[in-house]
Amino acid sequence: MNKYKAVICDLDGTLLNSDHTVSSYTKKVIEKIKNLGVKFFIATGRHHKDALAFKNILGLNSFLITSNGAKIHDENDKEIFSTNIPKELAKKIIELSVDSEIYRGIYKDDFWFIEKNIKGLDVFHKESGFSSIIKPFEELKNEDVTKFFFISEDCNKINELEKTLQSTFKDSLNITLSFENCLEIVQKGVSKGCAIEKILKEENISTEEALAFGDGLNDLDMLKTVGKGFLMGNSHKELIKRLPEHEVIDTNNNDGVAKHLEKIFL
């Protein structure tokens, strides 16, 4: 009998292919896994409303971890955990001067705010239909927010921004790269790994009885938290470097997660 009772999976670059969709093969494998009684959880940096569409597409009856662990919703889509960046800190990030080629986004409550249209971002959300709202960030300066993200076509500019943010806010914020060109910020102490510990406790499943799949640096602690963590073949190079003992499987475009689940459970 297989000792694993739970699977936790990232979305972009992991479960989703480059078209940001779930293949029919992957859907079939997950359905078979569910029928064996194995719990399947999504843990993503995406907004809850965005990720919910994929939970529904996969027919999952499980907890949903979003915004890198800042939000957890239960099987019935009720919010059971939420941690925001306090307004004093959020104000400092909004007031931070950034390069004009870096775009900024904010998740707050049920909304996703941007300052101007970000070219190519809509393709990520065609499956879910979740869309952003253009709003001057000045109007959000006195409010707490769930997550900030910074995105640019120039990875070097994102790397420089990360250094600046880490030197200023590392003691009060969790700052991670989800992609080489995307930097994400949540409150300190918030992470996918911490959220996983919470939901597994609720399910009476030990971390040793869980598997996880990821590709970005925001998946690092998640992959270390579970009994067995797998890196996608398309993973961020720094993630592979930091987890040398973890197995690297096939890429997201080659149904790496589904193939490996089939190998383990079926």
Cβ neighbours of residue 30 closer than 8 Å, sequence gap 6 or more: 40, 58, 258, 261
Is the pLDDT confidence value at 238 over 80?
yes
Is residue 161 located within the same domain as residue 226?
Answer: no
Mean pLDDT of the 116-124 span: 70
Q: Which of 187, 218, 239 is the last residue of a domain?
A: 187
Pairing mode of beta strands 39-43, 64-66 = parallel
- Phi-psi sector, 69: left (phi>0), alpha (psi -120 to 50), beta: left
In a domain, 132, yes or no: yes
Q: Calculate what percentage of the chain has a pLDDT beyond 70.
A: 97
Structural domain of 207: 6-82+190-265
Residue 194 has which token pair?
Answer: 């911490």
Instruction: Specify if 101 maps to a domain.
Output: yes
Asked, for residue 1, whether it belongs to a domain, the answer is: no
**Residue 227 scores a pLDDT above 80:** yes
pLDDT reported for residue 11: 97
pTM: 0.94
Active-site hit among 10, 215, 221, 255: 10
Percent of the chain with pLDDT over 90: 84
Does residue 209 share a domain with residue 196?
yes
Q: Tens digit of pLDDT for each residue in 163-214? A: 999 999 989 999 998 888 899 999 999 999 999 999 999 999 999 999 999 9
CATH of the domain at 95: 3.30.1240.10
Residue 128 in this model has a pLDDT that exceeds 80? no
- Number of structural domains (the chain) is 2
Phi first, then psi: give them for residue 103, nearest 5 degrees. Answer: -95, 145
CA distance 122 to 94: 23
CATH code assigned at 59 = 3.40.50.1000
Decide if 50 is catalytic: no
**Residues 195 and 181 grouped into a single domain:** no
Residues 69 and 136 in one domain: no
